[in-house]
Amino acid sequence: MAQVSNQKKSVITPKVDKFFMGLANAYAFVARFFKEVFVPPYEFREVIRQCYEIGYKSLPLISLTGFIVGIVFTNQSRPSLSEFGAASWLPALISIAVVRAMGPLVTALIAAGKVGSSIGAEIGSMKVTEQIDAMEVSATNPFKFLVVTRVLATTFMLPILVMYTDFLALMGSFINVNQNELVSMPTFFVQVFEAISFLDVFSSILKSLVFGFTIGIVGCYKGYNSTKGTEGVGKAANASVVMSMFLIFIEELLSLQIVNAIRNA
């Protein structure tokens, strides 16, 4: 509906033109999301179903990765800290690294690969096989039913997944620390929680919400705008992953700047 027609004659060069057209289309897509998300009817059941799908799809990989990242990072950090005789600071260091950066980043990248690509492919194939048109003619708003539900689901699920990753990474770290430094579980976690502040947790959750939104909206946008044919579906899936990973890194950088500014204020 609210999309800029890409059939106008090119003004500058076709490539530059296409880039700005794409930007305008993407902007219109995001604007449409915010316009429709607050207007009834709300598709609660579909949101819940999507949340479940997202969790179900990404949990195994996230569990494994979170745990291993915890072990490996602890192991690799030990020598540098030991040089200064500061191996006892390991829990604090790991805690800060995991909560501030690694947890959200690792989870978001995995979700972009797993969830983002499947959203892109699913919506893309619905587009090229005219299922979206079929929804439209049966008087259901496909944007609401397909896009709004998926974006809400990724947005709300990502913080939950991030906390889960954080927890597993810390558990992995604990096992490593426990074996090497013989630190007990209560001691380990007391150090972990002392190291992180409210700002750390709060910004981590906020960041995860943004990452989740990015994964959902990019997947939907690429799928919704995929061109005809099965090739278009593959491209949409692929482009969703590349685009959302790119944006996630940019957002990570931005949030780093913002949080640092707040911390120093």
Of 80, 86, 133, 230, the one binding another protein (CB under 8 A) is: 133
Alpha-carbon distance of 240 to 234, in angstroms, equals: 10
Site for another protein contains 40 (CB under 8 A): no
What is the nearest approach in angstroms of another protein to the Cβ of residue 134? 4
Cβ atoms of residues 164 and 158 within 8 Å: no
What is the nearest approach in angstroms of another protein to the Cβ of residue 121? 12
Site for another protein contains 3 (CB under 8 A): no
Site for another protein contains 134 (CB under 8 A): yes
Cβ atoms of residues 100 and 170 within 8 Å: no
Site for another protein contains 131 (CB under 8 A): yes
Smallest CA-to-CA distance from 104 within 220, 217, 215 is with 215
Q: Tokens for 177, please give them.
A: 């620390």
Of 25, 50, 117, 125, the one binding another protein (CB under 8 A) is: 125
Smallest CA-to-CA distance from 94 within 122, 62, 123, 67 is with 67
What is the nearest approach in angstroms of another protein to the Cβ of residue 10? 11
x/- string (CB under 8 A) for another protein, residues 103-122? -------------------x
Site for another protein contains 139 (CB under 8 A): yes
Of 3, 75, 88, 140, the one binding another protein (CB under 8 A) is: 140
What is the nearest approach in angstroms of another protein to the Cβ of residue 125? 8
Smallest CA-to-CA distance from 117 within 245, 237, 243 is with 237
Alpha-carbon distance of 58 to 211, in angstroms, equals: 15
- Our CB check for another protein shows the closer of 28 and 206 to be 28
Cβ neighbors of 12 (< 8 A, separation 6 or more) are: none
Q: Tokens for 229, please give them.
A: 């044919």
Q: Which amino acid is at 161?
A: L
Residues 81-100 that bind another protein (CB under 8 A): none
- Our CB check for another protein shows the closer of 130 and 194 to be 130
Q: Which stretch binds another protein (CB under 8 A): 20-28, 81-89, 129-137, 199-207?
A: 129-137
Q: Provide the total of helices (H) and of strands (E) in the chain, helices listed first.
A: 11, 0
Q: Three-state secondary structure along 14-37?
A: HHHHHHHHHHHHHHHHHHHHHHHC
Site for another protein contains 11 (CB under 8 A): no
Site for another protein contains 126 (CB under 8 A): yes
Q: Which stretch binds another protein (CB under 8 A): 56-64, 134-142, 155-163, 216-224?
A: 134-142
Site for another protein contains 1 (CB under 8 A): yes
**What angle, rounded to 10 degrees, do the helices at 185-195 and 90-97 form?**
50
Site for another protein contains 166 (CB under 8 A): no
Please, which contacts does 231-235 make with residues 24 or more away whose CB atoms are closer than 8 Å? 232/124, 232/128, 233/121, 233/124, 233/125, 233/128, 234/121, 235/124
Q: Tokens for 150, please give them.
A: 């998926």
Site for another protein contains 137 (CB under 8 A): yes
Residues that bind another protein (CB under 8 A): 1, 7, 122, 125-126, 129-131, 133-141
